């Protein structure tokens, strides 16, 4: 039986579209209104705070008291309202919004104390203000501690150049599935010990994507190491010749994510291939790999000397993995073609 559409399907879709547009328009105007009120409150805070200073200067210059009395509560309340509204209007993370709103609320309560005469209530508000400042600074300190931990992981990852996904031009490489990349950046594949294979010609952004995935993992405090396939093979041969191969295996086993760049660009001997594929095979379900290569995994058995080992390794990697195909030409070449990016399986 063929597919069919109900007579009102197109109108229902149109209604949903209009509803989404109305919601977007409402959000835009709400954010604009909040930014406008924030600006007004900011000027109230600036002008009232300036007047507080001027009122101390006027008696020194003229010898008379200023005609208007103003409490310091006014700029405190105004700046608290301005900051809270601005943080609410801007695109920020949940943590940043919580810090901003609590900070603004602390200033508002601090100012309101000056209008109260009940010492018990004032003391209670003082304690609330102290609590809000402590919570604010605690969140900021924790965020900075996490950031410093991520920076330490970033240094240990040994990236040749740090590149993030914000600098990746998806429009120039339309064959890359952006939604899949955004999902991978969340790091769930590392928790599940899944792998990512990025296949394409030289200059199609494979290393950039691999580095961006590694950078995101470092920010999530994952232990990441970046290495080219040729350097990894060189380290394996040196360890093999010095009879320290087991020690090198234990060292690699510390990492949550191993990024192997440029697999297939250099021809290796049979021993070198065997050592390399043994690393990839042994790490199966123990860690995650991000591998960039110019050879599709289904052709590894044809492209390497150790055909059976290469094919078995490719099967293991793709059994629990995701494929990103940069099927177009290099960025500097015209005529890039787009393909649908496939995913091996969802676990």
Least confident of 109-113, 171-175, 334-338: 334-338
What pLDDT, on a 0 to 100 scale, did the predictor assign at position 61?
Answer: 80
How much of the chain, in percent, has pLDDT values that exceed 90?
A: 29
pLDDT higher than 60, residue 329: yes
Integer Cα distance of 88 and 78 in angstroms:
16
Integer Cα distance of 78 and 111 in angstroms:
9
Q: What is the pLDDT of residues 166-187, one digit of tens each?
A: 888 888 888 899 999 999 999 9
Least confident of 105-109, 141-145, 160-164, 252-256: 141-145
What pLDDT, on a 0 to 100 scale, did the predictor assign at position 275?
Answer: 92
pLDDT higher than 60, residue 11: no
Q: Is 27 or 345 the better-scoring residue by pLDDT?
A: 27
The 3-class SS string of the chain reads: CCCCCCCCHHHHHHHHHHHHHHHHHHHHHHHHHHHHHHHHHHHHHHHHHHHHHHHHHHHHHHCCCCCCCCCCHHHHHHHHHHHHHHHHHCCCCHHHHHHHHHHHHHHHHHHHHHHCCCHHHHHHHHHHHHHHHHHHHHHHHHHHHHHHHHHHHHHHHCCCCCCCHHHCCCCCCCCCCHHHHHHHHCCHHHHCCCEEEEEECCCCCHHHHHHHHHHHHHHCCCCEEEEEHHHHHHHHHHHHHCCCHHHHHHHHCCCCEEEEEEECCCCCCHHHHHHHHHHHHHCCCCCEEEEEECCCHHHHHHHCCCHHHHHHHHHHHHHCEEEEEECCCCCCCCCCCCCCCCCCCCC
Least confident of 93-102, 141-150, 311-320: 141-150
Average pLDDT of the segment spanning 98-117: 88
What pLDDT, on a 0 to 100 scale, did the predictor assign at position 226?
Answer: 96
Average pLDDT of the segment spanning 27-34: 82
Least confident of 149-153, 281-285, 333-337: 333-337
Residue that has been written with the tokens 């900075």 in this structure = 144
pLDDT band at 343, cuts 50/70/90?
very low
Integer Cα distance of 68 and 265 in angstroms:
79
The domain ranges of the chain are 9-154, 158-326
pLDDT higher than 80, residue 152: no
pLDDT higher than 50, residue 346: no
Q: Is 48 or 336 the better-scoring residue by pLDDT?
A: 48
Average pLDDT, the chain: 82
Average pLDDT of the segment spanning 218-233: 92
What pLDDT, on a 0 to 100 scale, did the predictor assign at position 287?
Answer: 93
What pLDDT, on a 0 to 100 scale, did the predictor assign at position 150?
Answer: 65
pLDDT band at 339, cuts 50/70/90?
very low
Least confident of 61-65, 93-97, 269-273, 329-333: 329-333
CATH superfamily of 158-326: P-loop containing nucleotide triphosphate hydrolases (3.40.50.300)
């Amino acid at each position: 039986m063929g597919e069919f559409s109900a007579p009102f399907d197109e109108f229902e879709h149109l209604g949903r579209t209009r509803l989404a547009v109305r919601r977007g328009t409402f959000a835009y105007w709400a954010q604009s209104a909040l930014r406008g009120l924030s600006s007004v409150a900011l000027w109230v805070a600036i002008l009232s705070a300036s007047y507080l200073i001027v009122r101390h200067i006027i008696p020194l210059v003229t010898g008379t008291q200023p005609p208007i009395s103003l409490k310091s509560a006014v700029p405190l309340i105004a700046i608290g309202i301005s900051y809270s509204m601005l943080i609410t209007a801007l695109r920020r993370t949940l943590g940043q919004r919580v810090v901003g709103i609590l900070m603004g609320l602390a200033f508002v309560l601090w100012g309101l104390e000056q209008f109260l005469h009940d010492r018990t209530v004032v003391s209670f508000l003082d304690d609330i203000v102290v609590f809000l400042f402590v919570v604010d600074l605690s969140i900021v300190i924790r965020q900075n501690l996490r950031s410093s931990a991520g920076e330490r992981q970033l240094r240990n990852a040994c990236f040749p150049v740090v590149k993030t996904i914000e600098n990746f031009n998806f429009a120039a490489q339309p064959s890359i599935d952006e939604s899949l990349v955004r999902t991978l950046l969340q790091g769930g594949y590392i928790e599940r010990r899944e792998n990512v294979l990025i296949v394409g010609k030289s200059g199609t952004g494979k290393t950039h994507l691999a580095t961006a995935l590694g950078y995101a993992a470092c920010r999530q405090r994952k232990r990441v190491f970046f290495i080219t396939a040729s350097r990894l093979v060189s380290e394996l041969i040196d360890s093999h010749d010095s009879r320290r191969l087991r020690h090198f295996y234990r060292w690699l086993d510390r990492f949550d994510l191993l990024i192997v760049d440029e697999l297939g660009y250099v021809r290796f001997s049979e021993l070198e291939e065997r050592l390399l594929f043994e690393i990839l095979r042994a790490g199966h379900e123990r860690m995650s790999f991000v591998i960039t290569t110019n050879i599709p995994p289904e052709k590894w058995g044809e492209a390497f000397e150790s055909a059976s080992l290469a094919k078995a390794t490719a099967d293991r990697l793709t059994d629990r993995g995701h494929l990103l195909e940069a099927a177009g030409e290099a960025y500097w070449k015209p005529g890039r073609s787009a393909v649908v990016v496939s995913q091996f399986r969802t676990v």
